[in-house]
Amino acid sequence: MKNYEAESKLPNMIGPGTKIVGNIETNGDIRIDGNIEGNINSKGKVVIGNNGFVKGEIVCSNAEIAGTLNGKATVSELLSLKASSKVNGDIKSGKLSIEPGAIFSGTCTMGGNAPTIPLREEKK
């Protein structure tokens, strides 16, 4: 068990010039400077670097996007869109930070009160 915990603290990096087609699951943080076609599920932080490109869905606790995301992002805590970012897709986030210059096209749902539909159903 101790070895597994130590491994989860190591950073995962997808370098420039690397392309991965498939889903990624990790308990730790991951940085993408290459090209990913698939979904990313992380219990830690997902960072998409300036030249990073992701086509798929991201589910994580924190995310920082400086590159391109074509797909959904579900971030339980903070999603930070840097000035160089290009996001095309729907995002759900606890908190959202968008720098001037960032390009975002899609819908955004924020805050901890997202489950409004079940509340309406309960009132019936």
pLDDT in tens, 68-102: 999 999 999 999 999 999 999 999 999 999 999 99
Find, among 77, 37, 72, 70, the residue nearest to 58 by Cα. Answer: 72
Mean local confidence (pLDDT), 99-109: 94
Ranges of beta strands (E only) in 6-120 are 12-14, 19-21, 24-26, 30-32, 35-37, 40-42, 45-48, 53-55, 58-60, 62-65, 68-70, 73-81, 86-88, 91-98, 103-105, 108-110
Q: What are phi and psi of 2, to 5 degrees?
A: -65, -40
Over residues 1-57, the pLDDT tens digits come to 444 454 546 679 999 999 999 999 999 899 999 999 999 999 999 999 999 999 999
CA 124 – CA 121 distance, rounded (Å): 6
Query: How far apart, in whole angstroms, are the C-alpha atoms of residue 46 and residue 22?
Result: 16
Spacing of C-alpha 86 from chain mean position:
13
User: In the chain, where are the structural domains located?
Assistant: 2-123
Q: Within 10 Å of residue 106's Cβ, how many Cβ atoms?
A: 14
pLDDT in tens, 50-75: 999 999 999 999 999 999 999 999 99
Site of tokens 């730790």: 28
